[in-house]
Amino acid sequence: MLRRSLRKLTAALNAAGTLWVLVLATLICADILGRAGFNSPILGVPEIVQFSIAGIVYLQLGDAVRSGRLIRSDAFIGRLHLHHPVVLQWLLAAIDLISTALFALIAVSMAPETLEAWQRNFAIGSRGYFSLPAWPIKAMIVIGAGLVAIHLALQAAWHVRAALGGAALPGNPAAPPEL
């Protein structure tokens, strides 16, 4: 049940990131039209796009990890899978554990900064011209990094079980673990 809820949350954040990209594309086109056709750009479009990129990445990263869609070089993994599949599972578990620690560190270290930005109403951009509250972007990074850490920890546990014989070794080394 927890994994199903986690999967739904991750998919919802991925969808929100996708929708955000669509909104940004529309905003950019409207800004271009305003600049070219009416000599009147929309204020803050470059700032909105600049600060949206990190938010979008972290909204969608959890689903990319969960579904096995992150870019990686499969040449080494494929060769190791053919000759030493158990060693590969231990290697993937170690990589996932190190990655879990790094993403957990991002989430934990950004949480106080996010809370402070919310409490003190910090803004990003240019005062007097265009500014946005800083806390929503920071919160997306905290939530996204936390979800990535959870998915990586689950994958690491699966790889350890596979290495110990508790789960079937995958036929395709590039396939995501069956969580």
**pLDDT at 175 exceeding the cut of 80:** no
**Could you read off the pLDDT of 111-169 as tens digits, one per residue?**
999 999 999 999 988 888 888 999 999 999 999 999 999 999 999 999 999 999 887 87
In Å, how far are 77, 118, 160, 169, 170 from 86, measured between CA atoms? 12, 47, 9, 8, 10
Residue 131's φ and ψ, nearest 5 degrees, are -145, 155
pLDDT (mean) for 41-57: 91
Residue 52 banded pLDDT, cuts 50, 70, 90: very high
By percentage, how much of the chain surpasses pLDDT 90?
Answer: 70
pTM flag (> 0.85)? yes
**pLDDT at 174 exceeding the cut of 70:** no
- Tell which residue, 61, 54, 142, has the closest CA to residue 104: 142
The whole-angstrom separation of Cα 79 and Cα 33 is 52
**pLDDT at 173 exceeding the cut of 80:** no
pLDDT (mean) for 87-110: 96
130 sits in which H/E element: strand 130-133
Max Cα-Cα span within the chain:
67
